[in-house]
């Protein structure tokens, strides 16, 4: 049973307070684990995967130029999108749910990576494009990492590899 991880990366951006509305999502929280009840999307006709997690990173920021220095206030979050996420109850179990949860946890790892990059970057007056570039780079890294995760775990079918990835991601999340 093949599974495809669908990552919807929604972009919230702003310059001096401008923002874009997105679908209501569930904000990543270390104390909240996904349940099958969170998966509210419709299973597409002829879908092969057992489940699909729609998760991604959003950001918003404001920037002020003060004495030729850009002061940046920002927020970067990982979200799970219930209406775009679905599962087949007849074939899903706790192992598959843990696999789906880890996709969401991985999105949080990359949200943290983006926060760190934004904190460490000195921006020019071209801050809007510089932030977009950082975001695009992080999204590509996130997609590559998600693909590696699915490939190594066989989309959750390789229980030993799944447990290794569970430990690997839990350790990375615990660092902060």
pTM of the complete model:
0.85
Q: How far apart are CA 145 and CA 147, in angstroms?
A: 5
pLDDT tens for the chain, residues 1 to 176: 333 232 222 222 222 233 334 458 999 999 999 999 999 999 999 999 999 999 999 999 999 988 888 999 999 999 999 999 999 999 999 999 999 999 999 999 999 999 999 999 999 989 999 999 999 999 999 999 999 999 999 999 999 999 999 999 999 999 86
Q: How far apart are CA 75 and CA 111, in angstroms?
A: 10
- The full set of domain ranges for the chain reads 26-174
- Residue 24: predicted pLDDT: 82
Q: How far apart are CA 161 and CA 47, in angstroms?
A: 25
Q: Are strands 69-80 and 55-66 parallel, antiparallel or unpaired?
A: antiparallel
- Residue 67: predicted pLDDT: 83
Q: Tokens at residue 97, please?
A: 């749910």
Give yes or no for a contact between 85 and 39, defined as CB atoms under 8 angstroms apart: yes
- Residue 68: predicted pLDDT: 82
Q: How far apart are CA 76 and CA 66, in angstroms?
A: 23
- Residue 21: predicted pLDDT: 42
């Amino acid at each position: 049973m093949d599974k495809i991880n669908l990552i919807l990366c929604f972009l919230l951006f702003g310059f001096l307070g401008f923002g874009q509305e997105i679908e209501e999502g569930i904000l990543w929280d270390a104390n909240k684990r996904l349940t099958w009840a969170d998966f509210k999307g419709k299973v597409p006709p002829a879908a092969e995967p057992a489940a699909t997690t729609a998760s991604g990173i959003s950001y918003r920021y404001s920037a002020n130029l003060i004495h030729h220095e850009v002061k940046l206030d920002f927020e970067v979050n990982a979200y799970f999108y219930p209406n775009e996420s679905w599962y087949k109850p007849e074939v899903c179990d706790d192992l598959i749910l843990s696999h789906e949860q880890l996709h969401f946890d991985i999105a949080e790892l990359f949200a943290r990576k983006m926060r760190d990059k934004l904190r460490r970057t000195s921006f020019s007056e071209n801050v809007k494009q510089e932030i977009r570039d950082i975001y695009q780079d992080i999204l590509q890294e996130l997609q590559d990492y998600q693909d590696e995760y699915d490939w190594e775990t066989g989309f959750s079918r390789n229980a030993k590899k799944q447990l290794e990835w569970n430990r690997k991601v839990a350790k990375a999340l615990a660092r902060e």
